[in-house]
Amino acid sequence: MRQRIALVTGAAGGIGEAVVRALAEDGTAVAAVDANTEGLALVVKELVEEGHLVRGYTLNVASSEEVNAVVARVEDELGPVCYLVNAAGVLRTAEAVDLLEDDWDLTFAVNTTGVFNVSRAVARRMIPRKHGAIVTVASNAAKTPRWNMAAYAASKAAAASFTKCLGLELARHGIRCNVVAPGSTDTPMLTSLWADSDGDALRASIEGTPEQYRVGIPLGRLAQPGHVADAVLFLLSDRAAHITLHDLTVDGGAALGN
């Protein structure tokens, strides 16, 4: 049987790195993509030394020209991509009226336009093959308003909606498109917000912030990146062969099932 090929964006850390590792350990050849060249090289080096077939590709997902070139290179070097995981993301926090235009633009360039660029490039190649699965990592904030996260939430909502529309159009070609929506997850993106908080931010994430109308996490703990990766791998796998246009929330109950 031909080896499966996956392309994963945001692969240099956090959820993206966990997805790359989970796929590699499952026997999938992985094209690991990220704008962070140094971080990506470390991830790839570690996995290759463990005996996995993983190659790194530096890419700005906001550039359609770069995306098209890298997707072509991946298929030339590894083979036809059958799995795509859109895990690249950035977070810029501020109240909406104080949000800088540059932060808004960057957030949408990576979180939304990046999903469009990569999904379109890969889907165009999947269509003639009549096979493939795409998963976009969004956020529970896409459906539940969060204080200081207007740009992030809006960008993730747009990415999730795009992915479902894409899935509707690609279903006739046998290609499935789904969304995984994490809540607070123990990644550098989250912990970078906790500088000098002396543990208060962690407690607030778990216990809630009433003044910001935010409940805590009913399961009483942060997600680990591997928890999200497990959900991604399920939706990519043949066990989810009849699941498409689905939004799977992985947040320990923080959005109360929303």
The residues carrying an active-site annotation are: 152
Buried b (16+ CB within 10 A) or exposed e, 158-194: bbbebbbebbeebeeeebbbbbbbbbbbbbebbeeee
Please report, as a single letter, which amino acid is at residue 212: Q
Distance CA 112, CA 101 (A): 16
* Residue 78: partners with Cβ closer than 8 Å, 6 or more residues away: 5, 29, 31, 53, 55
CB-CB contact of 56 with 62 (8 Å) = no
Distance CA 120, CA 89 (A): 17
In 3-60, where do the E strands start and end? 5-9, 29-34, 54-58
Location of structure tokens 């991509």? 81
